[in-house]
Chain A
């Protein structure tokens, strides 16, 4: 596959790099791994296959051989050989044809049958942009890059054979609705923040700052200043952790975040809402809503069972 136009900050990502956090290695991976997993299923791939995360600009890909593609995420326009491809659907792209992706808002994930076959580094194909390894030579894609694709598996072949039109008449379930509210559970230092400070944190809207990136969403607006919540010896942080540095501007950590931190943690975005967090862009407004740990875990398990159900349906229909 040839990258005719790379867009801006298009990266190769899979579901993340696990097992090396104790050595300071970030998880990285798709900021919304669920979207990438679902799109992988749609094109017959293993859920953990590598695809593209596209953030902004215009991406144009030329294919050497026939492939299936699927995308989902923010507001994007995708054309496969000139045919519009709605999100969550499976589309065929023929050899020599061009896939055009125009980003309008947020992030999107594109899966390609066979997956992107960059070498695995520390067990993952994800791009670690800060440490410069993984993905395409540890960096975002550039114009004229060539990416090898893996061989499509039997399920992908079967889906392709039964795809009579350019785009499927079936689609994956839409598992999240973009909303400017992130549900959170209490952080380890929740009780260290004064009642009034916690109430303010939950009541106010924040604005996503321009210097937000794949490491974290930096929020401005109301300052969350606490006399009680102090910096402590660094401990583990994870995507979703909300840190409050001394300047009072909360930071919602995302997939490329560091592995440890010492700022007080007021809360954590629940895992199912990381998909919403991944769609927020600078100048967007965002607020927080507190849920219980049990609710957060039930939502996550329900989402996993929806994914398993969709996977079983695909297997039943195409395998």
Chain B
């Protein structure tokens, strides 16, 4: 684990040197984030995790008031290293499974035909492959509630669009390179759109506001156009 500053008021714990396996790195990041979040370290405002790293955002003023005669870096180092290194927390990741219904109707999937062409698959095969696997939510980012999903079958790896769309509708189910994702909100975007879900991925009135959290397992369930149109969130 490498501890690096992210500016003067945050630090990043990077686990890249601990494994060459992406899934193992994600597990380490998730368990460290979990341990650090539950430790409620005074002066730590929030904890986030990504593919192989964890970030701690700090209230420097608060921390400085607790540090006497030591540097802030030393103080944090001690607190964090012992927490992350302590045995026992690694098995404690809570894995949730979330099923996301997706309608692959061509009207809701503007790039499905092209993805089929590019991958030399039938459209039905693209759909079957995309909905056949269990994905893992590596992190949430790019926009509120947007899940970066790992586990996309290799046959479906296609590059992102050369020119991003200026408008991607909320709920669009998308793939780009080795990743899968879902656009929670209307936005610009450059991923290939192969379906749409009627489920809300981000809702400021919900607690938490994001349907998915880092570490969540995700499976796509095929829904018909009729089910999609009648879906009541």
Contacts and interface: CB of A to CB of B under 8 A. Distances in A.
A95 B77 CA distance: 55
A260 B50 contact: yes
A236 B6 contact: yes
Counting contact residues on chain B (CB < 8 A from A), the size range is: 35 or more
A290 interface: no
A131 interface: yes
Given A121-B204, A296-B8, A301-B61, A260 B209 contact: no
Contacts of A122: 204, 209
B119 to A, nearest CB: 24
Contacts of B47: 22
B5 A131 contact: no
Interface of A: 18-26, 121-122, 128, 130-133, 185-186, 188, 232-238, 240-241, 258-260, 268-271, 293-294, 296-297, 300-301, 304
Contacts, number: 137
A236 to B, nearest CB: 3
A304 B61 contact: yes
B139 A234 contact: yes
A24 B145 contact: yes
A304 B57 CA distance: 17
Given A18-B45, A23-B213, 8 more contacts: A19-B46, A24-B202, A232-B16, A234-B141, A234-B148, A238-B6, A240-B7, A268-B5
B103 to A, nearest CB: 24
Given A22-B48, A234-B50, A268 B7 contact: yes
B53 interface: yes
A23 B46 CA distance: 11
B8 A300 contact: yes
A260 B142 contact: yes
B64 A301 contact: yes
A23 B64 contact: no
A258 B143 contact: yes
B144 interface: yes
Contacts of A188: 4-6, 12, 14
A271 B53 contact: no
B72 A297 contact: yes
B59 to A, nearest CB: 10
Given A22-B49, A122-B204, A131-B143, A271 B7 contact: yes
A205 B232 CA distance: 55
